[in-house]
Each structure stands twice: as structure tokens, then as C-alpha cells.
Structure 1
Amino acid sequence: MNDRLRTVLGQRGVSPDSLAEVCEVDPKTVSRWLGGRIPHARHRFRVARHLRVEETFLWPEPSNRLGRPQDGSGSELVGTHPNRASVPRDVWLTLLREARKEIAVLVFSGTFFAQSNPHVAKMLSERAAEGVRVRLCFGDPDGQAVALRGREEGIGDTLAAKIRASLTYYRPLLGETGCAVRLHDTTLYTSMFRYDDNLLVNPHVWGQPASANPLFHLKRTDGTGWFDNYAQSFDAVWAAARSWAPDQERTAGHGQD
């Protein structure tokens, strides 16, 4: 079975029949691809282009036969998006619902994460109840890193206010088994959203909000590629972050943009 092809079709909202039409083949042929058959080169190219994913991610074996170097990185790239807002909402929801081991979020404010899904705290709680480890790491609104980032974006104290507003959504998770919320005070080069072996990486460009910057969807293939480098950096930030104690800090009500 080609689980990668099946997963990307679901995330992109593309049916097998639709893919067959794009590739000008019989729908039974796509069924065979999903069953594990490797398409001809011209069909692999069309599928990868239509689904906005690296061909080597969907079919890594052909590249092995061609003798291309295998460092694990190229085959990890599922797709790219010009900015965070262009990621379909269904992708976020599907990844969250299907997580079975770990959900990890590293951001400064992450206001969109809750405001685009008002039930995110409830959904995270449900995943934790099923044994998923949930780790949410926000910028420390009183920290130097947030103050610097606010100045760089030209919004001053607004970033700290957005963080305080965002945190209020996650108060129900405090004290729940498997859920933890921490605050970091570190230079953040990228926001990260991990769902088991899927990782959405949102790099930061100086002076621009993270929402305006590209987003890369990675899927872990081994222990030597991009995915693990980013995952290790998350763990390093998490280890140095402090637990969020809302009763001891200033908070803001809902409504921050």
C-alpha cells in the first residue's frame, strides 16, 4: 500500500477519480498506485506536480535505483505553502484528530491556532485522554525575546498582548494528564506544529509576522533528516522553558487579533 499517496490525497482533498482525470489514466490505474504499484515516470511527475509534493516523497524507490544520494531530507518534504494562511483548515484539523502519540506546538503567540478553531482546547484535551502527549510552548510575554520580536515587527507591546490573549484559550488544559503549557524566552527562528511524524514548519523572516511567511510540511522518514533536526530544536527550547502559571501572571481577555 502506498500510504503516503493516500494521505496526501486526503490532505489535498483530491479524489482518486480526479487524480486519474488529471493524469489521463483509468481510475483503476490510480487504485493500483494506491495499492503499491509504481507509476511510469511521466505519471509520477504529473501526480507530484498536481499534489504539490516531492516525487521522491511519494515514490522513494525509483530514486534509489537511479543512484541519487539518500540523505533522508528530500523524501521528507510533503509540500510547501506560500504563507501560513494558505494551508487548508482541514489539514490542521485532520492532523490534530489523527495524532496518536504527540502534538507539539512552538510559537510566539499562535493566536490563529485557537481563533481558527474555537474547539482546539477541547480537541487537544480529547487527544490527551487517548494517550497523546500534548506540549504547547508560547513566547514569554514578559521576556526579552518577545520584546525584541515586537520591535522588529514594528508592533511594540502588541505581541506580548497577543500572547496573553492566546494563552487564555488553553487554561482548561492546565492540570490535565498529558498536557503541558510552557513559556520560552528564546530567539525563535521558526514556528513548529508537530503531529506525530508530520511537522509543519513556519520559518520567520525578519520584520514580518510568521503568518506572512512560507510553511513547509515535512514527514519523518528516518532519524537523519530535516524532521529530526527541527524536532530536536523544539526539545531544546522546551527544556529551557518555564511552566505557565496564569494565576501569577498578567492575562488578557479574548478578542486580540
Structure 2
Amino acid sequence: MPATLTATHSQTCNERLRGAMVAANVTIEGLADRLRIDPKSVERWITSDRTPHARNAHAAAKILHADAYHLWPRLDERRRSVATPRDELVTCYPTRSVVPLDLWRSLLADAVGTIDMAVANPLFLADAVWDLPGLLADKAAAGVRVRLVGPASGSPATVADVFPSLLSVPGIRLAEHGGLHADVVRADDDLIVTTPVDGMAPVLSPVMHLRRLGPAPLTSGYLTALDHLFATATPVRAPRLRAVVA
């Protein structure tokens, strides 16, 4: 039976969190499932007023459309400490083939500011995220910056080949680059990075799920690389239709 959010005042210490969950219609189990943690941890955040780890706090606040420092005021004390690269590592998967399919879509669907994708083989995105063109079109229409860079022309599968419908979508930038190596998918502060291994197919390569924190000691390199790729990539535009003269 789902854990209730209607506990009495004496039982509930973090009323801000409880109220945010009620307002967002998110249960304890639902929030735990989205964060991929034990529901008992979420329950303790409410009943024992425990402050979660920064990466879980920010992820939960994003799901609840709330401010993490409002939900957990003591989180501000931790903000003064310097984040380490290990703090930004949410989890690591031995191969891309075992990354949960719903993770790709949920991160992109939750993005409110930025979606960046740099992929050497766009075909895997088409398999990992159903109706990706529709999702990206909706995000662009909502004001999210959407950028997608793939391999250069002449490759077996370019972004224009795999997602031709995106060529005509306003607000989506498509580009090609000849120097792609690691696949990086960014949704706001979350990144999924496929780390290439020489002689190994990308689907068998290790994957890191990162979340940017503070000065971003680990993610900053990937964020800088994304900006560099888009700055040096060749834009892909929809072909112009020529008028037929009788």
C-alpha cells in the first residue's frame, strides 16, 4: 500500500516537503522511483526532517517544481562546502545496453532550460527514446534550448538521416561534427556520458550518469566540450524547395 502523505502534524517534521509533494500529486513511492532510491529514505526526509544528499535534494526539488533550499534550509550549509567529482556521480552502468530506457526519456522530459545531445551514432537515441522528435519539438516550443550534433555528412547515419522531421522545427539546432567521440546527453544539470573504449562497440562501453553540483569539478569538462562542439560544428538546415516554373 502506498505510504500516505496525510500524517498528523506531530508525525511530520518537514511540512514544506510534504506540502510540495501533495501539491505536485507525487507519492513517497513515486518520488523514490523517480530518484531511484529506497522509499524509506524519502519517508525519513518527511518524518525525521533529514536533509538528503545535495544531488537527491536538487533532483527531488526539480520533480516537485520547488526550490531545494526552501524544502531543506540546512542544505545551504552544505552548499558552502566544495563539491568533489565523486559527489557529481549519480551512478555508473557497465554498458550502455543496461541503462534503463525510461532514464533517457525522463531526464529529457523534465528539462526546463537546456537539452544538448552530442552523439556519434544518432540511431541509438531513436531506439532509447520513443518519439524523440515529438518530445524535442514540444520542449523547443516551451522555450527549452535544444541542440543536437551528430557525425559529419557521409557517415552511415547523420542527424538529418535519423531525424529528418527536426529539420523544420523552430528552436531546434541541428549540426554535424567530424570529431565526435564520447556520447553526451545533457538535460539541464543531468548528463549521461558514454565513455568510449578502443576496440569496443559503443553499446558495450561504460556509461556515467552525472549531475552538476556547485563548481562542477567533474561535469564542467563535458559542459565545456559541448559548447566547443556546437561552436565548431557545421549547421544542418532544411533543404530549400525550388519553385517550379511552367
- TM-score, with normalisation over the residues of structure 2? 0.68
1:184 aligns with 2:177: yes
1:167 aligns with 2:176: no
1:114 aligns with 2:126: yes
1:124 aligns with 2:136: yes
Please report how far the alpha carbon of residue 118 of structure 1 lies from its aligned counterpart in structure 2 after TM superposition.
3.6
Match of 2:14? none
CA distance in 1, matches of 2:118, 2:38: 33
CA contact (8 A) 1:56 1:74 kept: no
CA distance in 2, matches of 1:221, 1:109: 29
Q: Deviations over 1:38-91 (max 9, x none)?
A: 58xxxxxxxxxxxxxxx78558x99x99xxx83532211111111111111111
Structure 2 residue aligned with 1:9, among 22, 28, 32? 32
Q: Considering fraction of residues, name the structure with more helix.
A: 1
CA distance in 2, matches of 1:207, 1:246: 35
Q: 1:211 to 1:167 in 2, by over 3 A?
A: farther
Query: Match of 2:90, SS?
Result: strand
For structure 1, which runs of at least 5 residues remain unmatched after alignment?
21-26, 40-54, 143-159, 249-257
1:136 aligns with 2:148: yes
Query: Match of 1:199, SS?
Result: strand
Query: Match of 2:170, SS?
Result: coil
Structure 2 residue aligned with 1:75, among 79, 82, 87? 87
Match of 2:111? 99
- TM-score, with normalisation over the residues of structure 1? 0.65
Query: Match of 2:50, SS?
Result: coil
CA RMSD of aligned residues (A): 3.3
Q: 1:81 to 1:32 in 2, by over 3 A?
A: farther
Match of 2:47? 32
Identical aligned pairs, as a percentage?
Answer: 24
1:87 aligns with 2:99: yes
Q: 1:30 to 1:226 in 2, by over 3 A?
A: same
CA contact (8 A) 2:149 2:176 kept: yes
Match of 1:200? 192
| 2:101 partner amino acid | R
Q: Deviations over 1:131-150 (max 9, x none)?
A: 011100001143xxxxxxxx
1:209 aligns with 2:193: no
Query: Match of 2:198, SS?
Result: coil
For structure 2, which runs of at least 5 residues remain unmatched after alignment?
1-16, 21-27, 58-73, 241-246
CA contact (8 A) 1:57 1:74 kept: no
CA distance in 2, matches of 1:241, 1:140: 9
Q: Deviations over 1:2-55 (max 9, x none)?
A: 99x999833365561xx46xxxxxx8535436xx5158xxxxxxxxxxxxxxx7
CA distance in 2, matches of 1:7, 1:240: 41
Match of 2:25? none
CA distance in 1, matches of 2:231, 2:43: 50
